[in-house]
């Protein structure tokens, strides 16, 4: 029987990379993104009929709930074509025998580079100095002191794949590196030259606090008013992980109160961010629109690896990047 694969992140006229992988199988490949306007859901009436009979659902950031899975009788696999899978109820999928997979390794270089780019822009006051130059002030402005990188401490919260890469890059630029991650062995800190510290020590001593934790019940709201109050008034917060890790109104208030010097943010709790949100208009906060993972190479790689995962599972093989472990996968896919 021909199996349906729904690509919920792609337009129908741009699925060349996926078809290179899936074209040799007995699959009906359907791309829905053209019908998904900003903020819409897979369950919207014009999209849901396309999605409901899928055997594999490949998604971007859309919610995939237990209720949806209960109405998808053929579903064997949900693949997050990206890294963070917090929008997919992977535990409910496991109970229902459905694999959930992601692509954990396509943008380690890109996201860590973006964390460093935001850090350097903040430390060097890049945007402020661009503006003063445009206004005709052609000299170093002492009221925004620039510190030597070798005198700065880069603090990584969550020393996983991307956290380690950003630690290496920060060390390569001459910064001292400290890290907080209660779930990894001591050797992981040593491997990247990061000194292990507890959370409060990191928040109170780092010149740059760079967040690289997954979003889960423990990390949601981890950077709240209390955590921000620990930061040095000269320090910066960088978030390329997930928006809800930071209490954004508390961040804006803390920056305005000069509890910290500024922030670089790629991810926000609501995306796209409403254009009247104060976080977009605070001069000491740089916001980029969730593009840290982006590069020509990464966008190609993630699509190919997502499609490969669908091919594997729908032809009865185990996935390469499982994030759950269903005991009895539907329709015979092997564990
Ligand atoms: P990873 O799973 O490899 O690493 C996460 C690390 O965080 C692990 O070492 C884990 O032990 C640690 N951790 C978990 N809970 C923690 C806690 N409470 N306190 C401290 N450490 C904790 O993940 P990754 O691939 O490095 O991704 C990191 C983050 O980057 C994720 O949030 C992911 O969604 C995000 N991301 C963002 C983009 C983007 O475009 N902005 C792209 C890819 C990934």
Indicate the DSSP class of residue 294. -
How far apart are alpha carbons 38 and 239 in whole angstroms? Answer: 23
Is there an atom of ligand 1 within 6 Å of 162 CB? yes
Of the residues 95, 271, 281, 300, only one is catalytic, namely: 271
Domain 3-105+296-314 shares a fold with domain 108-287: yes
Catalytic annotation on 271? yes
Is there an atom of ligand 1 within 6 Å of 218 CB? yes
- Given this model, what pLDDT does residue 216 score? 95
3-state secondary structure 120-148: HHHHCCHHHHHHHHHCCCCCCCCCCCCCC
9-13, 109-113, 226-230, range with the lowest pLDDT: 9-13
Question: To test ligand 1's pocket by mutation, which of 9, 107, 158, 323 has the most ligand atoms within 8 angstroms of CB?
Answer: 158
Of the residues 125, 284, 290, 303, only one is catalytic, namely: 290
Q: Which residues of 40-61 are buried (b: 16+ CB within 10 A; e: fewer)?
A: eebbeeebeebbbbbbbbbbeb
Provide the 3-class DSSP secondary structure of residue 12: helix
> What is the residue extent of each domain of the chain?
3-105+296-314, 108-287
Condensed to tens digits (0 to 9), the pLDDT of residues 98-107 reads 999 999 999 9
* Domain 3-105+296-314 CATH class label: alpha beta
Of the residues 114, 125, 212, 242, only one is catalytic, namely: 242
pLDDT confidence tier of residue 37, bands split at 50, 70 and 90? confident
The answer to whether the Cα torsion of 321, 10, 287, 272 is positive or negative is: negative
Is there an atom of ligand 1 within 6 Å of 155 CB? no
* pLDDT above 60: residue 332: no
pTM confidence score = 0.92
In CATH terms, the fold of domain 108-287 is Rossmann fold (3.40.50)
How far apart are alpha carbons 249 and 291 in whole angstroms? Answer: 22
β partners of residue 31: 7
* pLDDT above 90: residue 333: no
- Given this model, what pLDDT does residue 329 score? 62
Q: Could you tell me if 146 and 289 are in contact, meaning their C-beta atoms sit under 8 angstroms apart?
A: no
- Given this model, what pLDDT does residue 334 score? 42
């Amino acid at each position: 029987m021909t199996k349906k694969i729904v690509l919920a992140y792609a337009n129908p006229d741009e699925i060349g990379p996926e078809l290179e992988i899936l074209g040799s199988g007995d699959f009906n490949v359907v791309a829905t993104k053209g019908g998904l306007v900003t903020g819409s859901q897979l369950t919207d009436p014009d999209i849901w009929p396309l999605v409901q009979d899928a055997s594999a659902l490949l998604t971007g950031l859309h919610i995939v709930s237990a209720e949806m899975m209960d109405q998808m009788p053929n579903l064997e696999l949900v693949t997050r074509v990206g890294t963070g899978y917090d929008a997919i109820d992977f535990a409910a999928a496991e109970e229902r025998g459905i694999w959930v997979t992601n692509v954990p390794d396509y943008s380690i270089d890109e996201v860590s580079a973006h964390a460093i780019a935001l850090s350097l822009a903040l430390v060097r006051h890049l945007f402020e100095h661009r503006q003063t130059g445009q206004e005709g002030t052609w000299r170093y402005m002492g009221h925004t002191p620039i510190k030597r990188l070798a005198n700065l401490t880069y603090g990584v919260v969550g020393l996983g794949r991307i956290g380690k890469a950003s630690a290496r890059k920060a060390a390569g630029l001459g910064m001292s590196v400290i890290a907080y991650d209660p779930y990894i062995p001591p050797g992981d800190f040593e491997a990247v030259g990061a000194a292990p510290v507890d959370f409060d020590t990191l928040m109170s001593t780092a010149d740059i606090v760079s967040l690289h934790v997954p979003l889960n019940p423990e990390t949601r709201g981890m950077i709240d008013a209390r955590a921000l109050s620990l930061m040095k008034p000269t320090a910066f917060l960088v978030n390329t992980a997930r928006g809800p890790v930071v209490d954004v109104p508390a961040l804006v208030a803390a920056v305005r109160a000069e509890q910290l010097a500024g922030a670089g943010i790629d991810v926000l709790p609501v995306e796209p961010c409403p254009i009247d949100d104060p976080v977009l208009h605070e001069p000491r906060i740089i916001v980029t629109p969730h593009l840290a993972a982006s590069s020509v190479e990464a966008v190609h790689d993630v699509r190919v690896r997502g499609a490969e995962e669908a091919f594997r599972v729908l032809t009865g093989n185990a996935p390469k990047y499982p994030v759950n472990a269903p005991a009895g996968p539907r329709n015979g896919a092997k564990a």
